[in-house]
Amino acid sequence: MTETKDMDVPQEDLEEIPKGQQRFDNVYLLLILSLIIPFLMYNLWGMIEIASLPNFVP
């Protein structure tokens, strides 16, 4: 009896999925990144703004 398992699956399904696509298919990773990246950017921007303020001289 011959196996026809390979003949039933299209060729594109047999190809290995790239690691980058596997990571970005993870919904929870995208959720965490979408929360962390803006938080860090706005905080960094705020720190730079505070550091660049002139000193108060009464």
pLDDT tens digits for 28-47?
999 999 999 999 999 999 99
Average pLDDT, stretch 43-53?
Answer: 96
Using a cut of 0.85, tell me whether the model's pTM lies above it: no
Q: Per-residue pLDDT for 6 more than 90?
A: no
Residue 17: which of 5, 6, 25, 9 has the closest Cα? 25
- C-alpha 39/C-alpha 3 separation (Å) is 54
pLDDT at 57 over 60: yes
The pLDDT assigned to 11 comes to 66
Of 51, 28, 32, 29, nearest to 40 (Cα)?
A: 32
Percent of the chain with pLDDT over 70: 78
pLDDT value of residue 9: 63
